[in-house]
Amino acid sequence: MSEKTHQQQLVELANMKMPFGKYQGRYLVDLPEYYVVWYRNNGFPKGKLGEQLQLIYEIKVNGLEHLIRPLIRR
């Protein structure tokens, strides 16, 4: 099995929804910035979700959400 391309990873990231909590069902890219910063300061969840939230943090901090939103399959 081959590794996912960066494009496939970005599409997957764009379409990932928060699986629990106050913002359950919301696309990660649409989470409020303060919520993602809270995870940055208090610890991201373990596993894939944590990795994706770290990426979303970097995307939000650098104002790059506009690059991710067009990849959402609504």
pLDDT for res 2 = 54
Is residue 1 one of the residues assigned to a domain?
A: no
Alpha carbon 36 to its chain centroid, in Å, reads: 9
Is residue 43 one of the residues assigned to a domain?
A: yes
Which segments in the chain show pLDDT lower than 50? 1
Is residue 15 one of the residues assigned to a domain?
A: yes
Q: Whole-prediction pTM value? A: 0.89
pLDDT for res 1 = 43
Quote the number of domains for the chain: 1
pLDDT for res 18 = 98
Give residue 53's domain range. 6-71
Residue 4: C-alpha distances to residues 20, 25, 58, 73 (Å): 26, 24, 20, 18
